[in-house]
Copies of this chain bind each other. A is one copy, B any other.
């Protein structure tokens, strides 16, 4: 065993190996990879070991072992999180559900699918398409992220403005508790009020209450009818933000309503090697029986808001949305980026963009921003030059100061610290600002009910 584990832990690990066999992984490269996720952050040292569960029994055995020895456990899906929720460090066991990747059932009659936690979002949709069905939650990471991870963070996406976030698509789940007990939550029915809604409590709990191993999700017929895309250019982000708020207020129900500011357009243009023209843009998609009429109303709002717009069909829409989806890779080219994720009431979008501009000026930094404008959910990307500390690249303090100002402004506008990425490591120090002391205390007590030893993802969500 070429283990990175400290000597004292070897006997313990042999006990774990006896319980889970080949599912125990201790090779240095795998452990090294588990230090990070898509947040760009890394833990200070590699974790103890990884259990790559192939069956629910492995998850149970690993948690029984961890409970017995008081070993902290970091649940992990595909590691695509943006808040550092899956970072694992010294002395921690990584419990990966990514190999639990079977689609167990697809039922057109009951409009549901039963999947193991490690199934990739896009792969579920590929399988569903053969049945004319569709799982609607579409995080930007859908090609690489797992259903289990999507549930653990209550993932959003581009189309949840019309079709709802992950929580709205989950009927039930199987979850392994900290002590290894397997619990079934929720049901196969679309309605049900028997007892407290622990399914909803578990969704978005970021691996701190239990390890999700299976999900029963709602699916729907794939047919969306006509799909019409409106691409609208504005002289500046304020005009675009006002137009976005006006589109929502007009009663149109777009399937997607995305905003890109000047910084975002510049970065994407450089990345794709095309000119995107400065100013700001809205990308709006309408679908269903009213798609044409709704697109016409969007056009009218855009023009009344000082923008110019053109219509496109589904194919043209794909091309336009590819521009939006190029934002993350484009930002990776810009250097180090802190990806933020605040949400405000939709009417407060213009005020939030104004605050971002003020913060850019005050700190002399760039914050290219895209927004799921139909949800009031902004992703300001703080571009920075990392500082070295203990051999690791870290976010410099003035960037955190700028982010702090952003969060306070967001809360002042009636917003929330995270719309869809989660708290993880990166936002835990602001959690109490939003929840208040009583709410924070209550949440910690709930955590203690599920995980009395505090072994599940310690240091995440709560400080």
Chain A: residues with CB nearer than 8 A to chain B? 107-112, 132, 153-154, 156, 160-161, 164-165, 167-168, 177, 181, 183-185, 187-198, 200-201, 203-205, 209, 220-221, 223, 225, 245, 248-249, 251, 253, 288-291, 293, 343-347, 372, 375-377, 414-423, 427, 431, 434-436, 438-440, 442-443, 445-447, 449-450, 461
Chain B residues with Cβ under 8 A from A205's Cβ? Answer: 196
Contacts of A347 in B (CB 8 A): 107, 109-110
* Bound CA–CA A346/B111 (angstroms): 9
Chain B contacts of A438 at CB under 8 A?
177, 181, 183
A165 CB contact (under 8 Å) in B191, B343, B344: B191
A347 to B181, CA, bound (A): 31
Let me know if A187 and B414 touch, CB within 8 A.
Answer: yes
Cross-interface CB contact of A461 among B195, B245, B290, cutoff 8 Å: B195
Q: Complex Cα distance A168/B167, Å?
A: 9
Given A198-B442, A446-B196, answer yes or no on A160-B191 (Cβ-Cβ < 8 Å). Answer: yes
Would A346 and B288 count as touching, CB distance under 8 A? no
Residues of B within 8 A of A192 (CB): 343, 416, 418-419
B288 in contact with A190 (CB, 8 Å): no
Copies, count: 2
- A164 / chain B contacts, CB cutoff of 8 Å: 168
* CB neighbours of A420 from chain B (8 A): 191, 193
Residues of B within 8 A of A415 (CB): 187-189
Q: Cα distance A187–B376 when bound, in Å? A: 12
Q: How far is the CA of A109 from the CA of B244 in the complex (A)?
A: 10
CB closest chain-B residue, reference A287: B289
Q: Report the Cα distance A374→B171, complex, angstroms.
A: 16
For this complex, 25 residue pairs linking A to B, each with C-beta atoms less than 8 Å apart, are: A108-B249, A109-B245, A109-B248, A153-B193, A156-B191, A161-B190, A183-B439, A189-B343, A189-B416, A190-B343, A191-B372, A191-B375, A191-B376, A192-B416, A193-B418, A193-B420, A194-B423, A196-B447, A197-B200, A197-B204, A198-B439, A198-B443, A201-B201, A223-B251, A449-B449
Partner of A194, one of B197, B248, B434: B434
Chain B residues near A187 (CB-CB < 8 A)? 343, 414-416
